[in-house]
Every structure is written in C-alpha cells, then in structure tokens.
Structure 1
Amino acid sequence: MTLERLTPGPRMSQAVCIGDIAFLAGQVPNDLAGDITAQTHEVLNKIDAVMAELGGSKADVASVQVWLADMADFQGMNAVWDAWVDPANPPARATGGMLLARQGMRVEMIVVARVPH
C-alpha cells in the first residue's frame, strides 16, 4: 500500500491516506476568541472541507477524538456536534480533557475516515 499526503508541509500533512483510510491532522480553530460553540463550528467546518477535498463527507468519518481544554465545555460542544453529525452514520467518538497547544484554544478534533473510491 502506498501513502498519499494531502497538503504536506514542513511539520505535518493535512491528511495521510493509506489505501482507503484517511488520518486527518488535528483540526483546530483559527479564531481563539470565540466560545466553545463558535470554535466547534469552525473545527467541524474544517473537517467537512478536508473530507470534501478527499472526495468524501462526514458520512465517511469512522472515528473522532475530541479534546477539550475545559470539560465544562462538553455540553456546548455536544450541542454543535449533535446538529452537525449525520444521524444515519454517526462515527465512533471519544472525548477527553487536556491542555491544548495554544492559549484560548478550546477544542481539537482528530479524525479517521474512509476515503471513497
């Protein structure tokens, strides 16, 4: 099997595909001034954009790791998530709390997905 890299940069690629499995880089918000709902919307929009570039959609997402800087944001993140997720094709998901890379960042999501052929 070959590896294909989407938007490779000096530090990381936006996604790496092995066969029909895609591993997306952690998706984070650019606007760190927003609350959890704004940041979650931005991250989910980024996931949609990467999946579209791979030829797929959120229905192809198999697994998501959600990292929150503050677990008190769990309910707010879930409200946005529930409006976004495809109810016919919900991915496996885990959510945890941890210190994120930048001050003000409230959420990061890591996706594993199927790449349609």
Structure 2
Amino acid sequence: MTVHRHNPGPRMSQAVRVGDIVFLAGQIPQDLSGDITTQTREVLAGIDRVMAEFGGSKSNVVSVQVWLSDMADFQGMNAVWDEWLDKDNPPARATGGVALARPGMRVEMIATAHL
C-alpha cells in the first residue's frame, strides 16, 4: 500500500494518506485571542481545507478527537460543530479536556477520513 505524506515538514505532515484512509494532523486555530466559537470555526475550516485538497469533504470524515483546554467550552464548541456537521454522515467522536500546546489555544481536533 502506498503512503503519501501531504505537506511534510521537519516535525510532521499536515496529513498522511494510506490507501483510502487519510489521517489529519491536529487542526488548530490561528486566532488564539478568539473565543471558543471563533476557534472552533477555524479548526473545522482547516479540516474542510485539508479534505478538499484530497478531493474529499467533511462527509468523508469517519472519526474526530476533540481536545478542549477547558471543558466549560464544550457547549460552545458543540454549537459550532452542530452547524458544520453533515447530519447524514456524522463521524465517531470523542472529546476530552487537555493542556494544549500554546497559551490561548482553546481547541484542537484530529480527524481520520475514508476517501
């Protein structure tokens, strides 16, 4: 099976495709001063962008891990998630509270997709 590393860098690739499976690196917000809704929109837009580069969409996403720096943001993140979600093709999902890599970062998501 062929492995394709998408936008590889010195530390990681933006995504890795193995056959029909795409593993996205953690998608993070750019605006670290934004609230949870702003940051969640940016993260989901990142998933959309990477999926489009592979010729797919959010409908192809089969699993998402959501990491929140504060579980009090759960409802705000879910409000944006529910607007974004393809209701006919919802992925499996888990959400957890963690210390994220940068100050001000409120959410990070890791997705896996099938093309």
TM-score range, shorter chain: over 0.9
Task: For 2:29 and 2:3, locate their aligned partners in 1 and report how far apart those are by CA, in whole Å.
Answer: 27
Query: Which consecutive residues of structure 2, in runs of 5 or more, have no partner in the other structure?
Result: none
TM-score by length of 1: 0.97
Cα distance per residue 1:70-90 (max 9 Å; x no partner): 000000000000000000000
Structure 1 unaligned regions, length at least 5: none
**2:2 and 2:48 mapped to 1: Cα distance?**
24
TM alignment of 1:1-117, pairs within 5 A: 1-115=1-115
Q: Which runs of 4+ in 1 moved over 4 A?
A: none
Instruction: Name the TM-score, length of structure 2 as normaliser.
Output: 0.99
Structure-2 separation of matches of 1:5 and 1:110: 16
Letter in 1 for 2:24: L
TM-superposed CA distance for 1:2, in Å, is: 1.4
CA distance in 2, matches of 1:33, 1:17: 32
Paired residue secondary structure (2:16): strand
Structure 1 residue 91 displacement after superposition? 0.3
C-alpha distance in structure 1 between counterparts of 2:114 and 2:4, whole Å: 13
> Deviations 1:34-63 (Å, cap 9, x if unpaired)?
000000000000100000001100000000
Question: Hey, what's the Cα distance between the residues in 1 that align with 2:6 and 2:20?
Answer: 13
Tell me the number of residue pairs that the alignment of Structure 1 and Structure 2 aligns. 115
Identity %: 73
